[in-house]
């Protein structure tokens, strides 16, 4: 006897669909988070148990905070990320200084032997009587009379507002005491600024790194060059990014905003193919029509490569020098204030406006880096001299005569032979 089929009730269908959707939503929004939460809690419990066990039973008494930081550092190391870094309490001050473009110190420029070249104009060190040529004898009672620059720099840095007692000696052997309060001091991320061709109005600016102060420093450098150029207007710029290994992406974008008006700078390609775009600021491109040649080398990395790629792909600049390093990743920076440490690790790739990945080290299949439009090979024997020149800080006008009289080597210093810079200059001269 055939089975008589009943017609489907639309209400039953709707009811079934409703429950199917309800189950799916429950799994996604209720069950899955519950499973994730409970799994995470079990992992956290294991770590907490290990932490407590070591504190209670290890032969030597351990510091709980040190153990916790060691665990965090160990997890970071397990990523096998060559760019990852753990910033502990000892490195926090330097980390903050590098990020901000300012350090906390007494405000003096030293030479390699630890002698004062000059104090920061209108700074607290100058107010305390420190002059060019002075030597440090003691810092807070510690004998530092034979210390070099690197050693002195570390002991002169400290907490904001803290005071340091100094025993100093003038060049005439007069010994005096100075009490100086530590304050913020700019680190100078923009270096060599000069006209390469005064008649043609071709300027040169070297950017050492990208920090919070870089855009303001660059703006002041351009004012100086415009003021020195014929008719008060710079005609062309050689922008030097050699040995610039990067820094803050926001700072590199701020520099690009002088040349690009609201245009795409780069994209951040993250986990699960998520993408975020970064654009230059609108209404700030005061030099958008200025001809540019970029000088790069194998130590131009990260933010330098983002900047160079954005200008070249927009037809704004030509690259001269050597292939760049190929560090095209961005990092997440997490500041664990209670633990007094910072974690930095790779979160994704930078891609150029055309979609090209800049990274060339994490993945063997990626070429990475930027090939120069006009390759120039710098001899190894010249490289050290060029880098030293680019790191040189000329004395402020207030102390210039005094510094030059006391340190004739600084007065007589001349730019070294620099084939890459000369090539960039000739290229610019022929195009104007």
Domain at 190-431: CATH code = 3.90.226.10
Q: How far apart are CA 302 and CA 282, in angstroms?
A: 23
What's the distance, Cα to Cα, between the start and end of the chain in Å? Answer: 99
List Cβ neighbours of 258 (8 Å cut-off, separation of 6 or more).
218, 219, 222, 284, 285, 286, 287
Domain residues of the chain, as ranges? 10-76, 102-186, 190-431
- Nearest 10 degrees: Cα torsion 143, 91, 120, 124: -70
pLDDT of amino acid 380: 78
Nearest C-alpha neighbor of 224 from the set 204, 210, 197: 204
Tokens at 120, concatenated: 């920061």
367 three-class SS: coil
Q: How far apart are CA 358 and CA 302, in angstroms?
A: 8
Instruction: State the DSSP H helix or E strand holding residue 43, giving kind and residue range, or none if neither.
Output: helix 32-57
- Nearest 10 degrees: Cα torsion 343, 324, 309, 304: 50
Strand partners, 108: 119
pLDDT along the chain (432 residues), means of 10: 50 50 49 47 67 69 74 74 76 66 85 93 93 96 94 89 95 95 88 95 97 94 95 96 94 97 94 87 96 97 97 97 94 76 84 93 85 91 90 89 92 92 96 88
Q: Classify residue 222 by burial, with Cβ atoms within 10 Å: 0-12, 13-18, 19+.
A: buried
Four-residue CA torsion sign, 358, 361, 363, 366:
positive
Distance from CA of residue 114 to its chain's centroid? Answer: 26
Q: How many C-beta atoms lie closer than 10 Å to residue 321's C-beta?
A: 29
Angle between helices 249-256 and 214-228 (to 10 degrees): 30
Distance from CA of residue 366 to its chain's centroid? Answer: 24
pLDDT of amino acid 190: 95
Longest CA span, the chain = 124
List Cβ neighbours of 364 (8 Å cut-off, separation of 6 or more).
none
Instruction: State the DSSP H helix or E strand holding residue 318, giving kind and residue range, or none if neither.
Output: strand 317-321
CA atoms within 13 A on the CB side of 35: 7
List Cβ neighbours of 113 (8 Å cut-off, separation of 6 or more).
148, 149
Q: Classify residue 368 by burial, with Cβ atoms within 10 Å: 0-12, 13-18, 19+.
A: buried
Domain 102-186: homologous superfamily in CATH: PDZ domain (2.30.42.10)
Alpha helices in 235-302 (DSSP H): 249-256
> pTM here?
0.80
Nearest 5°: the CA angle 237, 243, 247 is: 90
Cβ-contact 192, 389 below 8 angstroms: yes
């Amino acid at each position: 006897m055939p089975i008589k089929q009943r017609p489907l009730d639309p209400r039953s269908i709707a009811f079934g669909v409703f429950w199917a959707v309800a189950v799916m939503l429950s799994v996604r929004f209720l069950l899955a988070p519950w499973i994730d939460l409970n799994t995470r809690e079990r992992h956290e419990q294991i770590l907490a148990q290990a932490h407590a066990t070591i504190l209670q039973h290890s032969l030597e008494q351990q510091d709980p905070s040190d153990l916790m930081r060691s665990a965090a550092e160990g997890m970071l190391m397990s990523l096998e990320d060559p760019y990852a870094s753990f910033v502990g309490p000892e490195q926090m001050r330097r980390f903050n200084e590098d990020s901000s473009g300012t350090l906390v110190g007494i405000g003096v420029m030293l030479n390699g032997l630890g002698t004062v070249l000059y104090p920061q104009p209108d700074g607290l060190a100058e107010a305390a009587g420190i002059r060019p040529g002075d030597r440090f004898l003691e810092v807070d009672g510690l004998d530092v009379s034979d210390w070099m620059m690197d050693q002195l720099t570390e002991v002169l840095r400290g907490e904001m507002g803290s005071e340091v007692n100094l025993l100093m000696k003038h060049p005439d052997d007069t010994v005096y005491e100075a009490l100086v309060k530590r304050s913020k001091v700019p680190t100078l991320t923009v270096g060599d600024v000069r006209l390469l061709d005064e008649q043609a109005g071709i300027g040169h600016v070297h950017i050492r790194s990208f920090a919070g102060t870089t855009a303001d420093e660059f703006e002041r450098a351009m004012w100086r060059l415009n003021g020195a150029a014929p008719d008060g207007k710079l005609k062309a710029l050689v922008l030097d990014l050699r040995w610039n290994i990067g820094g803050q992406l926001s700072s590199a974008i701020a520099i690009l905003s002088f040349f690009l008006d609201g245009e795409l700078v780069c994209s951040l390609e993250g986990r699960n193919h998520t993408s975020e775009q970064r654009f230059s600021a609108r209404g700030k491109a005061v030099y958008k029509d200025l001809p540019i040649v970029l000088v790069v080398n194998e130590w131009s990395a990260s933010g330098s490569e983002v900047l160079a790629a954005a200008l070249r792909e927009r037809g704004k600049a030509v690259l001269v020098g050597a292939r760049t390093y190929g560090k095209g990743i961005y990092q997440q920076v997490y500041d664990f204030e209670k633990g007094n440490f910072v974690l930095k690790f790779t979160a994704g790739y930078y891609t150029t406006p055309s979609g090209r990945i800049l990274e060339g080290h994490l993945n063997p299949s990626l070429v990475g880096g930027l090939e120069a439009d006009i390759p120039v090979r710098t001899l190894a024997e010249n490289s050290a001299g060029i880098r030293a020149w680019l790191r040189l800080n000329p004395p402020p006008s207030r102390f210039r005569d005094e510094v030059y009289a006391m340190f004739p080597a600084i007065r007589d210093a001349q730019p070294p032979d620099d084939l890459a810079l000369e090539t960039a200059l000739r290229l610019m001269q022929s195009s104007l």
